[in-house]
Amino acid sequence: MKRKPFIVTVSLIMTSLVFVLLDYKPSIAQTVNLNYANFPPASTFPCVQMERWKTEVEKRTNGRVKINTFPGGTLLNAKNMINGVISGVADIGCLCMAYQPGRFIVTNATGLPLGLSNARIGSLVLWEIYKKYKPKAFSKVKVLTMFNTAPSNIMSKKPIRTLQDLKGYELRASGNAAIALGLWGGAAVGMPMSQTPEALQKGTVQGLFTALEVMKDFKFAEYLKYVTRTDTLMYPFAVVMNKNAWNKLPKDVQKVFDNLSAEQSEWTGNYMDKHVEEAIQWSKENHNLEIIQLPKEEKENWDRILEPMITDWIEEAKEKELPGEAIIKDIKAFSTQFK
């Protein structure tokens, strides 16, 4: 075989180099793939907000960031969400802080009976509280956003019209909501939302105490025919990101994420408020739902019974060297600011 002249060899090497470089170029602006874990089914509000965030991020980064979503506990479940994000099982995760009351003391204060009247206000207040106090519970993650549910109501198989009706009645609730049920004399059974449909079907619980949009999203209205309007207590949520994954993001992408935080919080609150109304309508029209309004004095009495929750929380906060009174004062002040 004849040897190639030197000049041909050099030009061949140069051409391959150009190809290598050309090939390399697109990988500089390579898409960043991030896995986002969520615990409840895709139709529920934590996943609806996740899909909205994904759409906005992909749009605002011109497709440079791709978010792969994992609803329904397929990547991480309700209880191992934050640890799974810290260890890098998922890049991003959505968690309900009420499921771990002792771990998220500061942010769970927005779930106390403090008169936050809807999810929009609850979400914005929660985000402000997070920004102001930057709780240690989040030191190992980057927090992308936070939001709250709408206030909780009792959904049940039998009508609950008085505290007597509630005595010993088993309802599913977590965190502050479980404490409240106990104070009213009910029997709270703790479990994440994702386990509730099975518990209701097996009869382990006779209903639940949470925001009303679940009547439609989980079709609970098919067998829970009564709602007692208590309109108090929220379940706070956080969306957190693995610190390494965050640090690896280009600065302009980090900015897109940061610019979305408060907006996503408010968007989710608004979505939740609107969806609760739709769920009530749907349950009435399709499943004959009866809404029980407590008489004014009765409602005041139910609210009064919950007051010690606030003083107890302040005590607990103090024990952990947290400024409990100031946090409660701030929650109240922010809530009037966002009205």
SS3 32: strand
The single residue among 34, 35, 46, 122 that binds ligand DTR, judged by CB under 6 A, is 46
From the list 281, 291, 164, the residue with the least C-alpha distance to 224 is 291
Residue window 188-217: x/- pattern of binding to ligand DTR, with contact defined by CB under 6 A:
----xx----------------xx--x---
Q: Which is nearer to ligand DTR, 126 or 253 (CB)?
A: 126
Give the burial class of 110: count Cβ atoms within 10 A of its Cβ; 0-12 exposed, 13-18 middle, 19 or more buried. buried
The single residue among 108, 118, 149, 283 that binds ligand DTR, judged by CB under 6 A, is 149
The single residue among 174, 206, 228, 283 that binds ligand DTR, judged by CB under 6 A, is 174
Cite the DSSP H helix spans in 184-323.
Answer: 196-202, 214-217, 243-248, 251-287, 296-306, 308-319
Residue 69 is a binding residue for ligand DTR (CB under 6 A): no
Residue 96 is a binding residue for ligand DTR (CB under 6 A): yes
Residue 309 is a binding residue for ligand DTR (CB under 6 A): no
Question: For residue 254, what are the β-bridge partners?
Answer: none
Distance in Å, CB of 136 to ligand DTR, minimum: 24
Residues in Cβ contact with 234 at an 8 Å cutoff, skipping those fewer than 6 apart: 110, 111, 116, 119, 122, 148, 149, 150, 151, 152, 211
The single residue among 34, 35, 44, 112 that binds ligand DTR, judged by CB under 6 A, is 44
Distance in Å, CB of 95 to ligand DTR, minimum: 10
CB 173 within 8 A of CB 188: yes
Residues that bind ligand DTR (CB under 6 A): 40, 44-46, 96, 149, 174, 192-193, 210-211, 214, 235
